[in-house]
Amino acid sequence: MPISKRAKTTKTAIRKFLKGADRTLPGRRKALDALDRAPRPRKVSYAETTLGGIPAIVATPKEVVPERHILYVHGGGYVVGSPKSHIAFGARLAKRAAASVTVIDYRLAPEHVYPAAIDDCVAAYRSLTSEVDPALITIAGDSAGGGAALSTMRALRDAGDELPACAYLLSPWTDLTGSGESVNSKAEADPMIVAGHLVEAGGLYAGDTPLDDPGVSPLFADLGGLPPMLVQTGSDEVLLSDSTRLIERAQAVNVDAQLDLFDGMWHVFQMFPGLPEAKEALVRGATFIRSHTPAQASVRVTSTD
């Protein structure tokens, strides 16, 4: 199925913008956080908070009863990004899923190397479960956040914690060694990622830990016992192989893992709210979340912006 005209235009615009963008680490952090200058979704309350000592922003829809909770781990290669950069996306997902969403501000590399980010995610999840039944919780994340969500669930499983009901992973970065076939074959097709930046970010995050360590690259971890997961990606995605191999390895150990593939789409295309494909992806993600977390029949999911 061909991509929409809006998606084609957006793809070209991304290439032009990134070509002249400040690619230094401070510049990239500033640029990503600037996403919060755009209006946040309406009819949602926003509050700064902490979970287990980790700063966060929580978004709660006003028109639906938020009977479930999404713990969202933002992307950015473990070196950029924050709740500011991802709260608008999280709010759009929350409205469709009839959920509250909390986007956490885990520590970034190179100032804080592995396992700092995972430790923060674990602390935030444990704090959340002191107030919310794990059966009502979805852990979600994009790119590095998707990989961190996997590593977090693995750490929780190994520690004997009760796991969330499900996981929603968008273009997850699961293999920091860069061994996936798509890293090279999709390099020209994906406007969002430069392969060299993956190598750089992976090294900054891992520190002295080998890149193939299961905690750093959850693709190589024991995935047994993890909850159902929906992995959503595009066919023009540099990290496509990270998703397809994750699905294969999860299913091999009897994890209920589904791949939701969008033709012609790029890395974390869901972040672009004007795209028909992005809206459809969020609808599918919200449907998955609702199907795996209990809710009263009276909850009504409204049309959202």
Supply the pTM of this predicted model. Answer: 0.95
Closest CA to 165 of 260, 289, 299: 289
Q: Is residue 89 a part of any domain in this protein?
A: yes
- Asked if 207 and 113 touch (Cβ cutoff 8 Å), the reply is yes
Q: Is residue 14 a part of any domain in this protein?
A: yes
Active-site hit among 69, 86, 267, 292: 267
Q: How far apart are CA 46 and CA 101, in angstroms?
A: 10
Range of the domain at 221: 5-292
Q: Is residue 248 a part of any domain in this protein?
A: yes
Count how many domains the chain has. Answer: 1
Residue 139 bridge partners (DSSP): 71, 167
Q: Is residue 301 a part of any domain in this protein?
A: no
Structure tokens at 34: 């600037």
Helix (H) or strand (E) holding 258: strand 257-262
| Residue partners of 69: CB distance under 8 A and separation at least 6 | 99, 100, 101, 102, 128, 132, 136, 137, 138
296: pLDDT confidence band, cut at 50, 70 and 90? Answer: low
Q: Is residue 29 a part of any domain in this protein?
A: yes
Which of residues 18 and 6 earns the better pLDDT score? 6
Active-site hit among 82, 85, 100, 143: 143
Query: What CATH number does residue 262 fall under?
Result: 3.40.50.1820
Q: Residue 20 above 90 pLDDT?
A: no
Q: Is residue 304 a part of any domain in this protein?
A: no
- Asked if 219 and 246 touch (Cβ cutoff 8 Å), the reply is yes
237 has catalytic annotation: yes
Structure tokens at 33: 């956080």
Q: What are the helix (H) ranges across the chain?
A: 5-19, 25-33, 83-97, 116-129, 144-159, 182-185, 195-206, 240-252, 276-292
Q: Is residue 298 a part of any domain in this protein?
A: no
Q: Is residue 305 a part of any domain in this protein?
A: no
What pLDDT, in 10s, does the model give residues 143-174? 999 999 999 999 999 999 999 999 999 999 99
Q: Residue 305 above 80 pLDDT?
A: no
Q: How far apart are CA 40 and CA 260, in angstroms?
A: 26
Q: Encode burial over 63-86: b for 16+ CB neighbours within 10 A, e otherwise.
A: ebebbbbbbbbbbbbbbbbbbbbb
Active-site hit among 237, 241, 243, 292: 237
